[in-house]
Structure formats: structure tokens, C-alpha cells
């Protein structure tokens, strides 16, 4: 009779009451609990208490363990799945014993979402979530801006060192590369070859064919030179106007001269008509070549100066040819009080053969 009275009291209570075993199986649920969690009137007895939770967090598991071992109520706020959707509840749980058997008595109370404190906290949470979302969006935009800035920086660096017409390195890049390779060749005691290249009678070409045709001619010549250069260390740049510079690392005079001849052949084989030329009926080039092993007392500008002198000599001798710069070399002939200077002069002449219009002839005079 006493047990029935207690059960009737539990059923009559307005608050949802659950009695749960230590392994979280619902043993009893009063009418208030059924009205909240069972829309079909299905008995909650035998179901798992954990199935009511929206999210099982470590904090909630800690509350369940405390409630199962405490004789006084332990409170925790969470969200539960109800017949009317997800709702916030305050859970009050404690342990009750029936002899040696222990159970968990759980009293559920709906959380007052309209309470000023709860409402203020909800507003604050929503505001914080919005701020977090805005900051994440700003960080993403910042990251995209940094990537775009880096891309623009690389493009700017490329534009600063590349000739816009021919697509090969410009004068600024030439100066930087020459200085770097000069120091490297000095450390390694290796020869450095520099070619100064000039398109023969280019001003006449521009006047006769027009500047657009002149631009196209420059592009074709630059492409032909770049195609002939095979090694990754071979370098060509536009020195200015119709002049180009080729830089060959670790290349002696013989190898450099052969490469210069190939460049002349490649340009001539383009077969670009040049009826305004006094040298040939197609576009040709003149090459001033200088090969030098850098030393501390010398400067990188010297190799350019001497290559330019050789180019002037090639033009003076009729163009469409290669001239190798030769420096005077002092030689002691072992005669008493009679030191002599051996001067190596370089001359060049055009060949009569159509396939090879130029040659380099060398002679030594005492």
C-alpha cells in the first residue's frame, strides 16, 4: 500500500521525474515526463536515458557519474530531445537506495529561456558567434590578399627584369647577372665569354620597312639566339635598341667562337629580307666576342668594353662576322736591354661563299 502511494505521488507531481538504473536504463517515468518525451503515449520504461540527450559532452558524463554516487541533488543544464523538439532543461539527480540496489532519481526542470540572465547570455553568445564568423571571413580575405600581393610582387619583379618587346632579360637583368657570374668565375678561376651582338643596318631596316616590322625583326632575332643557346647557364639579354648581349660561363675562346658562329648562322637562316642593307639581302648580325678570366684587379665592365671594341671592329671590317678581342701581350724575348711587345691583331673578312659570309683571320706581327 505504501509503495502504491509513493507511485501515485510521483505520477501526480507536475515536474518530470525519472528513475534510472546505474547503467542508464529508465525504470520509471511519471506522467509529466511522458507528456514531454512521448508524443504517442509510448512508455519510456526500458529505454536508454542517454537517448534523450542532444549532445553527450564530457561535462554531462561527469554529471551523470556524480548523480549516481551522490545522496544530494547534483544540477546540470543541457538540451534534451522532446516530442516538441529540442528544449533546454535543468537536471537534478541523486542516488536513492532500495536495500542493496541503487538507482538515480532525476528531476527535470524546463530552463527559462526568457529569463533576463539567460536571454542576455544568449544574445552575448550570438554576438560572439557573429564576431567569430566575421573574423574568420576577414582572415580568409587577408590570406587571399597576401597571396594576390605575392603574385603581383613576382609579376612586378619579372616586369622589372624582362624586356617587354622580346621577352628576354633587359639591361637591368644583364647588369645583375654579369656581376654575379663575374664573381662566380673569379672564385672558380673559370673563363667568362661575353658577346656584344648588333643587327646590321637596323636603322635602315626600320626606315625602309617601318617600326612594326622592326619590332617583329627584333623578336625573331631574340628568339633565334635564345634557341641556339642550349645550356641552362647560357644567357641572352637585350642590351638596348638593336643590341643583344650573350654570356657564356666556363667557355674558352674556341667554344665561344663556335657558338658565335652558330648565332650568326641562325639569324641569317631566318631569311628576313633586308633590301636596305649594304651587307646582305637578308638580316644579319655582327658579333664582338671577348673571353676573359676574371681577376681581382679587373672589373666586370672591362669585359663589356672589350667586347664592344671587338663589335666595332666587326662593323668597321664590313659587318656580318665575328671578331674576337685580343689584348696586347708583353713577351720578354731574352735580349739584353731589349724587351719587346708582341701585338696580336685580329682581322676579319667576309667569305665569298653564300653559306658562310664571314670568317675570322688572325695574324701576329712583331
The three-state (H, E, C) secondary structure of 208-272, written as one string = HHCHHHHHHHHHHHHHHHHHHCCCCCCEEEEEECCEEEEEEECCCHHHHHHHHHHHHHHHHCCCC
Residue range 243-276, pLDDT digits in tens: 999 999 999 999 999 999 999 999 999 999 999 9
On whether residue 141 sits in a domain, the answer given is: yes
Task: Please work out, in degrees rounded to the nearest 5, the angle formed at the alpha carbon of residue 266 by the alpha carbons of 260 and 269.
Answer: 140
Q: Record the cell numbers describing residue 238, joined without a space.
A: 637585350
352: pLDDT strictly greater than 60? no
On whether residue 27 sits in a domain, the answer given is: yes
The CATH number assigned to the domain holding 98 equals 3.30.450.20
The CATH number assigned to the domain holding 177 equals 3.30.70.270
Q: Domain check: are 42 and 12 in the same one?
A: yes
Share of the chain above pLDDT 70, in %: 85
Where residue 307 falls among pLDDT bands split at 50, 70, 90? Answer: very high
Residue range 140-150, pLDDT digits in tens: 889 988 998 88
Q: What is the chain's mean pLDDT, rounded?
A: 83
42 is catalytic: no
Where residue 242 falls among pLDDT bands split at 50, 70, 90? Answer: very high
| Mean pLDDT along residues 106-129 | 73
Where residue 362 falls among pLDDT bands split at 50, 70, 90? Answer: very low
On whether residue 289 sits in a domain, the answer given is: yes
pLDDT at 32: 87
Among 65, 119, 121, 63, which Cα is nearest to 92's? 63
Number of independent structural domains in the chain: 3
Q: Domain check: are 65 and 187 in the same one?
A: no
Q: Domain check: are 184 and 323 in the same one?
A: yes
Residue range 162-207, pLDDT digits in tens: 998 999 999 999 999 999 999 999 999 999 999 999 999 999 999 9
| Structural domain that includes position 104 | 2-111
pLDDT at 114: 53
pLDDT at 151: 85
Cα gap 288→303, rounded to integer Å: 11
pLDDT at 81: 85
pLDDT at 267: 97
Annotated active-site residue in 131, 144, 242, 243: 242
Amino acid at each position: 500500500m505504501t509503495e502504491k502511494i509513493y507511485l501515485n505521488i510521483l505520477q501526480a507531481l507536475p515536474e518530470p521525474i525519472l528513475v534510472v538504473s546505474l547503467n542508464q536504463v529508465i525504470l520509471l517515468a511519471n506522467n509529466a515526463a511522458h507528456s514531454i518525451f512521448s508524443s504517442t503515449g509510448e512508455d519510456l520504461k526500458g529505454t536508454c536515458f542517454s537517448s534523450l540527450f542532444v549532445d553527450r559532452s564530457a561535462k554531462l558524463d561527469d554529471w551523470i557519474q556524480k548523480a549516481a554516487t551522490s545522496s544530494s541533488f547534483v544540477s546540470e543544464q543541457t538540451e534534451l530531445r522532446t516530442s516538441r523538439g529540442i528544449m533546454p532543461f535543468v537536471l537534478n539527480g541523486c542516488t536513492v537506495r532500495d536495500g542493496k540496489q541503487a538507482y538515480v532519481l532525476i528531476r527535470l526542470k524546463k530552463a527559462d529561456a526568457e529569463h533576463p540572465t539567460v536571454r542576455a547570455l544568449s544574445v552575448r553568445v550570438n554576438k560572439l558567434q557573429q564576431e567569430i564568423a566575421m573574423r574568420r571571413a576577414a582572415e580568409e580575405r587577408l590570406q587571399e590578399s597576401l597571396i594576390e600581393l605575392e603574385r603581383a610582387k613576382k609579376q612586378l619583379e619579372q616586369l622589372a627584369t624582362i624586356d617587354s618587346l622580346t621577352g628576354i632579360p633587359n639591361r637591368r637583368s644583364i647588369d645583375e647577372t654579369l656581376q654575379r657570374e663575374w664573381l662566380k668565375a673569379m672564385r672558380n678561376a673559370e673563363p667568362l665569354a661575353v658577346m656584344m651582338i648588333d643587327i646590321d643596318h637596323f636603322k635602315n631596316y626600320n626606315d625602309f620597312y617601318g617600326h612594326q616590322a622592326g619590332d617583329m625583326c627584333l623578336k625573331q632575332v631574340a628568339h633565334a639566339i635564345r634557341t641556339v643557346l642550349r645550356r641552362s647557364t647560357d644567357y641572352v639579354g637585350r642590351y638596348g635598341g638593336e643590341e643583344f648581349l650573350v654570356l657564356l660561363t666556363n667557355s674558352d675562346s674556341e667554344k665561344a667562337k663556335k657558338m658565335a658562329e652558330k648565332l650568326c648562322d641562325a639569324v641569317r637562316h631566318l631569311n628576313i629580307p633586308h633590301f636596305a642593307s649594304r651587307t646582305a639581302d637578308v638580316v644579319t648580325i655582327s658579333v664582338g666576342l671577348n673571353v676573359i678570366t676574371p681577376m681581382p684587379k679587373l672589373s666586370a665592365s672591362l669585359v663589356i668594353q672589350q667586347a664592344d671594341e671587338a663589335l666595332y671592329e666587326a662593323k668597321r671590317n664590313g659587318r656580318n662576322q665575328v671578331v674576337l678581342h685580343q689584348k696586347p701581350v708583353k713577351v720578354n724575348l731574352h735580349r739584353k736591354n731589349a724587351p719587346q711587345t708582341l701585338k696580336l691583331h685580329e682581322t676579319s673578312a667576309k667569305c665569298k661563299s653564300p653559306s658562310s659570309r664571314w670568317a675570322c683571320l688572325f695574324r701576329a706581327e712583331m
